[in-house]
Each structure stands twice: as C-alpha cells, then as structure tokens.
Chains A and B, each alone.
Chain A
Amino acid sequence: DTEVTQTPKHLVMGMTNKKSLKCEQHMGHRAMYWYKQKAKKPPELMFVYSYEKLSINESVPSRFSPECPNSSLLNLHLHALQPEDSALYLCASSQERGTSEYLEQFFGPGTRLTVL
C-alpha cells in the first residue's frame, strides 16, 4: 500500500469555524508533512513530524495547529482562518532520514480549502 489518503477532498469554512484536515498512511513511514499550495505556486512546507514529534514548524500562524496522534495519522486543526488561507493543503509521508539523501515523499491528493 503506497497510498496517502486525505479527507475531506473539499472544505468550505467561515472565518469563525473550527475544522480539521485528516491524513493517513500505512506505509510504515515515520516522517509526515503538511504543505500549503496556492494556485500556480509550488508547495510550501508548513510542518514536519518525525516519530510523532513536531520536528519543523515553518513559522506557521497559530490558527493552524498540527497533531500526530499515532504513526499513521496526521491532523491539521483549523481555527479562525482568513480568506488568504484558502489553498490546497497537501499531506506527505516518507521514511525517516537514513544514510542516503534519497527520501521520496509520497503525497496525498490534497484538501482544497476555501475560507469565506
């Protein structure tokens, strides 16, 4: 199973709503990632979890709150978002770093978020 799944596929929320994005993988990967991608732009890294611990936070506003409850699941909790947060949110996973620079990241299909 080389699949990363994300739910929901589409999400529309108001600025006062609280919602969560979910990501799941069963490849035994111990590194998981959240990316944000605006239209016609490359993905931007938001967070990295390694062995269920937050390893990298790329100065993301606190209205985005990641959570890694176990090695297969990654959540992104959303609260008080702004319209400019509308984007495609991609989850990815990979093996942990080893002795090689090869570290393929497997991406999920993404959640298209619209903030009204």
Chain B
Amino acid sequence: AQKITQTQPGMFVQEKEAVTLDCTYDTSDPSYGLFWYKQPSSGEMIFLIYQGSYDQQNATEGRYSLNFQKARKSANLVISASQLGDSAMYFCAMREGRSGAGSYQLTFGKGTKLSVIP
C-alpha cells in the first residue's frame, strides 16, 4: 500500500483564489511528521510547511496552511490567494519515527501539478 497518496495529478486555480491539494497517508507509527514541498520547473525542492503527529493545531506559514485531520489520516495543503508564481509541482511527504535508519527517510507522494490561471 502507498504510504502517501496524492490523488490529484493536476489542478487548475484562478489567480487570487484559494486551492486545496489533497494528501492522505498511512502509518502505524505514533510519531511521524508531514511535509509539503514545492518544486518549480527549475527543479529545486522548496520546503513549505510541516505538521507533527503530536501537534494539536494546524500548521500555518503565510499563505500556506495545512488541514490536518489525524483520524482520517489526511494532511491537505491549502494555498490562499493563489499567485502565478505558485504554478509548480507540489509533493506531500512523511517521515516516520524518531530513531533507526528509517527515520531519515522522507516518503514522497506522486505529486500534484498546480497551474495558476491569470
């Protein structure tokens, strides 16, 4: 089974509108972290936002917020007031555990390509 599922291969949004990118995850580890990265066509992976499994509140970073629903195992990214520069590939990723070799690893979803329309 996939550990990170992003069901939207591509999304379109009008400039200045909000958009939600879906991410569901699967883990039996009580300790995990969820990350969202943005990858423009230039290739660099840009960290956007982080949510820890024990965090009580949803994470927010400027125009980015993470809608964390632990019971549903979902961690959707919300981008408010979309800008043309938001057009990029977006990856949801998970890190499980706090120790052991596996705790280094980020498991990535397949990504969602967001296109912002003027």
Contact = CB atoms under 8 A, between A and B. Distances in A.
Given A100-B52, A101-B52, A108 B44 contact: yes
Interface of A: 31, 33, 37, 40-43, 45, 48, 50, 55-56, 88, 90, 92, 97-110, 112
Interface size class of B (residues with CB under 8 A): 20 to 34
Interface string B87-118: 00001000111110101111011110000000
Contacts of A107: 37, 44-47
Given A100-B52, A101-B32, A55 B104 contact: yes
B108 A106 contact: no
B85 interface: no
A101 B31 contact: yes
B47 A33 contact: no
**Could you say which of A41, A42, A45, A107 has the most chain B C-beta atoms within 10 Å of its C-beta?**
A42
Nearest to B110: A42
10 contacts: A40-B111, A42-B111, A55-B104, A97-B104, A98-B98, A101-B96, A101-B97, A102-B52, A103-B95, A104-B47
The 4 closest A-B pairs by CB, nearest first: A42-B108, A107-B45, A101-B33, A110-B43
Contacts of B108: 42-43
A104 B106 CA distance: 10
Interface of B: 31-33, 35, 37, 42-47, 50, 52-53, 91, 95-99, 101, 103-106, 108-111
Contact of B99 (A41, A42, A97, A112): A97
A88 B52 contact: no
B106 A56 contact: no
Contacts of A101: 31-33, 52-53, 95-98, 103
**Could you say which of A55, A90, A97, A98 has the most chain B C-beta atoms within 10 Å of its C-beta?**
A97
Nearest to B111: A42
Contacts of B37: 107
Contacts of A109: 42-44
Contact of A56 (B43, B96, B101): B101
